[in-house]
Structure 1
Amino acid sequence: MYLENLVIDAVEPQRLGRFWEAVVGGETLTDAPGIYETRLSIKGGPVLDLCFQPVPGPPSEPPRLHPDLLGGPRQAEVVERLLGLGARHLDIGQRDVPRVVLADPEGNALCVMEERASYDGTGPIAALPLDSADPDRDAEFWSWLTGWTDVAGAAPRSLRHPSLVGPLLELCAEQAPKGAAKNRLHLDVRLESGDDPDQVAATIAERGGRELPAQWGELPWRSFADPSGNEFCVLPAPAPAPAG
């Protein structure tokens, strides 16, 4: 399995998708009614697709997953660029911190980060902090799920693609348990050829996750929650290339 998508719910997928495509310098994959997808490729490292899917309303609960953007010595310049693209300053009670907290055009929180040695080689997305009831437990879960490996970082536990470039997945101690509302942002992993979907589902349960009931009829992917309740999807293995 491998991490493939960062999925962001959006009232206006095209508008929000184009904002984020400009932010990360992505390549448009899909621009169709109700869905927008852009690809972030990290040289020598992972490929991450940002997928925007329609929902009826703006975020109503604090985010449990959000993007931290690379700032460093260019932090002020990056902030000004994002404001010009349609972001705005956001007060979440952060007080005097070195990062700058913004909201994207639909109110989703993001941070522009100060310089950190652990962000070397990340690309435009420095980290993806994910709320966790038990960072040690959840780091083991997500490492198995994605194949990412432990690295040093500011969070209790941080994971990174085996190439050691690209963003960090940071397991951060949650301020409150996961509520009933679905996370506005979630991750998707993709099965590889030979992976048994039922065995993967069974192992997810053994490791403390659970499968979620299908709510939108028959779909090619399956939905799960990690041990802290954060939703994610497991996508089927890619179809074999046609014989040539």
Structure 2
Amino acid sequence: MALRLVQVNFKARDDSALGQFWAEALGWGVSIEEPGVTNVEPVGFTWPDPAAVCIDVVTVPDPETVKYGVHLDLATTSAAHQAELVAHLKKLGATPADVGQGDVPWTVLADPEGNVFCVLEPREIYRDTGPIAAVVVDCADPRAMARFWDGAMDWTLHEVTDDHAVLRSAKGVGPYLEFLRTSGVKTVWNRVHLDLKPYPDDDQAAEVARLEALGATSIDVGQGDVSWRCLADPEGNEFCVLSPG
């Protein structure tokens, strides 16, 4: 049994507008899954595929009550590309953001709904990830997060230290999943969370039980009667286990 990271889920006031921003930011396309839900994925993409971690934008009543504990890092290929991408993103509605980063080579921005993300300077490690270099999760203990998420998914653990942990699809494609040590205790829901999907022949309930044995807990975020299961990892970061497929 195993799980795949297939998408990141953004809570939004306006799924259509935010979805369009991210589609234009990444050079991807949009599709409407249902009223209030916008999917953003590469044009011609057959989901799911480890070559890309897609974006699912969902309208919720009050997205501002939650925390920015997960963000995207965008890849660039040169200093000129980084400058051009930052300028393009600002034209789309992104604004500069100060999260205490100081003098760093990357640029921190916020999307039109305030979700913080980074446009990285060129880095060799991200040369083949596609537009999203990494999905980054704040945490208190990267080593503990590495143990849980390495067991939860069929991704490969590339590096783990006291300050960060790095995983990527075992097929060596798509973005990285990174856990970075940060200060502060999580007390509210994350505005962005991960969605995992079992393989077609696996059993969702069995996967949930396996995750709970690893340290996850089932949670109620008001989801009601839905086809997915909502859980939290050992540090309280919410994620969903979708139906197999």
| TM-score (norm: length of structure 2) | 0.88
* Structure-2 separation of matches of 1:8 and 1:169: 16
Cα distance, 1:31–1:230 mapped onto 2, change above 3 Å: same
Partner in structure 1 of residue 25 of structure 2: 23
Contact 1:118 1:152 in 2 (8 A): no
The 1:176/1:202 distance shift into structure 2, 3 A limit, reads same
**1:176-195 superposed matches below 5 A:** 176-179=184-187, 181-195=188-202
- What does residue range 186-225 of structure 1 map to in structure 2 within 5 Å? 186-213=193-220, 215-225=222-232
- Secondary structure in 2 matching 1:75: helix
**Match of residue 76 from structure 1:** 83
Map Cα deviations across residues 136-173 of structure 1 (whole Å, 9 max, x no partner).
Answer: 22123222323111225996210111121211100111
Relative to structure 1, is the Cα distance of residues 204 and 3 closer, same or farther in structure 2, using a 3 angstrom cutoff? Answer: same
**TM-score, normalization by structure 1:** 0.89
Asked whether the 8 Å contact 2:19–2:30 carries over to 1, the reply is no
How many angstroms apart in 2 are the aligned matches of 1:29 and 1:39?
Answer: 8
Aligned equivalent of 1:63: 68
Q: Does 1:163 align with 2:171?
A: yes
Residue ranges of structure 2 left out of the alignment (5+ in a row):
none
After the TM superposition, which of the residue ranges 96-105 and 85-94 deviates more from structure 2?
85-94
Distance in structure 2 (CA, Å) of the matches to 1:124 and 1:54: 24
Structure 1 Cα separation of the partners of residues 58 and 50 of structure 2: 26
Query: SS of the counterpart of 1:67?
Result: strand
SS in 1 for 2:135: strand
Instruction: Give the Cα separation in 1 of the matches to 2:159 and 2:213.
Output: 27
Displacement after TM superposition at 1:45 (Å): 4.5
Partner of 2:122: 115
Summarize the Cα distance change of 1:97–1:61 in structure 2 as closer, same or farther, 3 Å threshold. farther
List structure 1 runs of 4+ shifted beyond 6 angstroms: none
* SS in structure 2 at match of 1:105: coil
Q: Aligned partners of 1:45 and 1:205: how far apart in 2?
A: 24
Query: Equivalent residue for 1:46?
Result: 51
**Equivalent residues, number:** 236
Instruction: Name the structure 1 match of 2:6.
Output: 4
Q: Which moved more, 1:54-63 or 1:211-220?
A: 54-63
Paired with 1:214 and 1:31, the residues of 2 have a C-alpha distance of 21
> CA separation in 2, counterparts of 1:117 and 1:151?
15
Return closer, same or farther for 1:177/1:214 CA change in 2, 3 Å cut-off: closer
**Which of 60-69 and 126-135 deviates more?**
60-69
Q: How does 1:94-105 map to 2 (within 5 A)?
A: 94-105=101-112
Aligned to 1:241: none
CA distance 1:220–1:61, change in 2 (3 Å): closer
Cα pair distance change 1:18/1:31, threshold 3 Å: farther
Give distance in 1, aligned partners of 2:33 and 2:206.
34
Asked whether the equivalents of residues 52 and 175 of structure 2 are also in contact (C-alpha less than 8 Å), the reply is no
How far does residue 98 in structure 1 lie from its aligned partner after superposition?
Answer: 1.0
SS of residue matched to 1:91: coil
Cα RMSD, aligned residues only:
2.2
Give the whole-Å Cα distance in 2 for the aligned partners of 1:216 and 1:132: 25
